[in-house]
């Protein structure tokens, strides 16, 4: 028989599924895959349940129910000062995952170049390649993850069609600064390129760091497809409701891609997310403040255990260097050891780097990513388990090689 699609056949199961399965197998506290262990606001969940019972369960409009498109437009204005026409500039999708693919489909032709920033979310590269486009990777370096301007400028060229960027960023929890965004905006204008802006963690920023949508910068309104996720904004990751805000010409093409991918998104969830987006500012502030306290709890605990903990300015995640603990193995081996022995699961940060290309071997392999969007008791249990496992390992380890 002829081989099926080569790229998909060679794509591994996502690291999030792999590590969640391993966590289950070993009864580990799962701080790997990024999902909160408490559901979001009860009134939003109830709105979804009520909407199932009121007889509107057939295909909703292709670009989303009017209530949600209006709510997305209102949220753009309220939080970011972006004016968007709900009728022509908002497309609702089945999660940000679909929104990212649909936005890339909307602008890329085979052979176009796309600038991507490592570390990167796991769907980006395969989708760019599936579309026949050519990825141009630029790498942020720990511990500060600052934008390497010269490398970024060098990645742009006459064939650049778009940049795909993520801020606040998973996994390194960077929030792009106004100056970095201005630099990107200048490159986009110089090279007449688009931006697909994955902003799923737009409301999850800490310590006074504030998310700035690239779309809100001068000259960027016409070039950006700005993506949000109800999963992250309302702690309901299983719902998979995403939304793209884009100028009318682009939004119309994103809608064509959505038409081919899923056509519509469950109407009851859409109506409930509209209720959520209309919540007062206090809800959004409380969400960030609650997560900031959890970040502190986990970061402080990891530092006490001896990890080299990196700064987390946004998102659900803290990354920590495990070398100070005496582990000489790589992050995949460490995360496996941690799950099997300490019964705590984290994600190896190297999973967020391309496996091929000139720089693949130089990707960092000494960070584990821990999700802190969990009950305090869960975070405490994970820390206690790690403390016990490190102590046991230390007691037993004198004579053997300190590899994970």
- Concatenated DSSP letters of 366-404: SEEEEE--S-HHHHHHHHHHHHHHHHHHHHHHTTS----
CB of 16 to ligand GLN, least distance (A): 3
Tokens of residue 125, six digits: 């590269």
Q: Minimal CA–CA distance to 265: which of 58, 64, 57, 47?
A: 64
242 belongs to the binding site for ligand PMP (CB under 6 A): yes
User: Binders of ligand PMP among 221-240, rule CB under 6 A?
Assistant: 229, 231, 237, 240
**Residues at the contact surface with ligand GLN, assessed by CB under 6 A:** 14, 16, 33-34, 170
Report how many residues bind ligand PMP under the rule CB under 6 A: 13
Pick 14 or 177: Cβ nearer ligand GLN: 14
**Residue 14, binding choice from ligand PMP, ligand GLN, none, Cβ under 5 to 8 Å by partner class:** ligand GLN
- State which of positions 184-213 bind ligand PMP (CB under 6 A): 198, 200
313: contact with ligand PMP by CB under 6 A: no
The residue with tokens 């779309």 is 215
Closest CA to 213 of 93, 317, 104, 76: 76
Structure tokens at 285: 């502030």
76 vs 233, which CB is nearer to ligand PMP?
233
Show contacts of 64-67: CB within 8 Å, 24+ apart.
64/90, 64/91, 64/92, 64/243, 64/265, 64/270, 65/92, 65/267, 65/270, 65/271, 65/274, 67/270, 67/271, 67/274
Nearer to ligand PMP among residue 234 and residue 390 (C-beta): 234
Query: Does 36 participate in binding ligand PMP (rule CB under 6 A)?
Result: no
Shortest Å, Cβ 118 to ligand PMP: 13
Q: Residue 198 binds what, of ligand PMP, ligand GLN, none (CB under 5 to 8 Å, by partner type)? A: ligand PMP
**Tokens 């986009």 -> residue:** 188
Residue written as token pair 């490592």: 118
The rounded distance, in Å, linking the Cα atoms of 52 and 70 is 20
Nearest-angstrom CA–CA distance, 4 and 57: 36
Residue that the structure tokens 């992250």 belong to: 232
Rounded Cα distance, 326 and 160, in Å: 43
Select 164 or 220, whichever has its Cβ closest to ligand GLN.
164
Closest to ligand PMP by CB, 170 vs 339, is: 170
Residue in the structure block whose two tokens are 């778009």: 162
- Comparison of 29 and 96: residue with beta carbon closer to ligand PMP: 96
**Residue 242 binds which one of ligand GLN, ligand PMP, none, with CB within 5 to 8 A depending on kind?**
ligand PMP
Residue 16 or 337 with smaller CB distance to ligand GLN: 16
Q: Smallest gap, in angstroms, from Cβ of residue 332 to ligand PMP? A: 20
Among 63, 166, 292, 312, binds ligand PMP (CB under 6 A): 166
CB 229 within 8 A of CB 200: yes
Residue 314 contact, options ligand PMP, ligand GLN, none, Cβ 5-8 Å cut-off depending on partner type: none
Which residue spans within 199-270 are E strands per DSSP?
224-229, 242-245
64 contacts ligand PMP (rule: CB under 6 A): no
Handedness of CA 350, 351, 353, 354 (dihedral sign): positive
Choose among ligand GLN, ligand PMP, none what residue 216 binds, the Cβ cut-off being 5 to 8 Å by kind.
none
Partner that binds at residue 16, options ligand GLN, ligand PMP, none, CB closer than 5 to 8 Å by kind: ligand GLN
CA distances, 79 to each of 32, 123, 278, 281, 284 (Å): 30, 27, 11, 9, 10
From the CB of 122, what's the least distance to ligand PMP, in Å?
9
Distance of CA 62 to CAs 108, 129, 206, 224, 240, Å? 22, 27, 36, 21, 16
- What is the smallest separation between the CB atom of 191 and ligand GLN, expressed in angstroms? 29
Supply the minimum distance, in Å, between the C-beta of residue 262 and ligand GLN: 16
| Binding status of residue 170 toward ligand PMP by CB under 6 A | yes
- Taking the complex as a whole, the smallest distance from the CB of residue 55 to ligand PMP amounts, in Å, to 27
Which residues here bind ligand PMP, judged by CB under 6 A?
95-97, 121, 166, 170, 198, 200, 229, 231, 237, 240, 242
């Amino acid at each position: 028989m002829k081989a099926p699609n080569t790229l998909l056949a060679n794509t591994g199961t996502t690291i999030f599924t792999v590590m969640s399965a391993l966590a289950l197998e070993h009864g580990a506290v799962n701080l790997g895959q990024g999902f909160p262990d408490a559901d979001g606001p009860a009134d939003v969940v109830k709105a979804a349940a009520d909407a199932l019972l009121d007889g509107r369960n057939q295909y909703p409009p292709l670009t989303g129910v009017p209530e949600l498109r209006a709510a997305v437009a209102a949220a753009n204005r309220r939080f970011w000062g972006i004016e968007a026409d709900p009728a022509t500039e908002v497309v609702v999708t089945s999660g940000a995952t679909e929104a990212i693919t649909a936005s890339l489909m909307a602008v890329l032709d085979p052979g176009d170049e796309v600038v991507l920033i490592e570390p990167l979310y796991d769907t980006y590269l395969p989708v760019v390649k599936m579309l026949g486009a050519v990825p141009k990777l630029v790498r942020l370096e720990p511990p500060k993850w600052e934008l390497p301007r010269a490398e970024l400028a060098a990645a742009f060229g006459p064939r650049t069609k778009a940049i795909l960027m993520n801020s606040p960023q998973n996994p390194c929890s960077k929030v792009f600064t106004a100056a970095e965004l201005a630099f990107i905006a200048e490159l986009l204008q110089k090279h007449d390129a688009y931006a697909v802006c994955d902003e799923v963690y737009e409301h999850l920023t800490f310590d006074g760091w504030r998310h700035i949508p690239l779309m809100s910068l001068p000259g960027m309104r016409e070039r950006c497809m700005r993506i949000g996720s109800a999963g992250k904004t309302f702690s309901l990751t299983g719902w998979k409701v995403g939304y793209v805000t884009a100028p009318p010409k682009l939004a119309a093409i994103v809608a064509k891609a959505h038409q081919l991918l899923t056509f519509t998104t469950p109407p009851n969830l859409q109506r409930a997310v509209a209720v959520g987006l209309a919540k007062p500012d206090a809800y959004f502030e409380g969400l960030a403040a609650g997560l900031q306290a959890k970040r502190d709890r986990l970061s402080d605990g990891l530092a006490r255990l001896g990890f080299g903990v990196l700064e987390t300015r946004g998102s659900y995640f803290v990354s920590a260097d495990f070398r100070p603990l005496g582990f000489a193995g790589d992050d995949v081996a460490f995360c496996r050891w941690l799950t099997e022995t300490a019964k705590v699961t984290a994600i190896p940060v190297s999973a967020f780097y391309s496996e091929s290309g000139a720089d693949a071997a130089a990707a960092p392999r000494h960070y584990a990513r821990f999700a802190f969007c969990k009950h305090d008791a869960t975070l405490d249990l994970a820390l206690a388990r790690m403390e016990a496992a490190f102590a046991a390992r230390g007691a037993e380890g004198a004579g053997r090689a300190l590899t994970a």
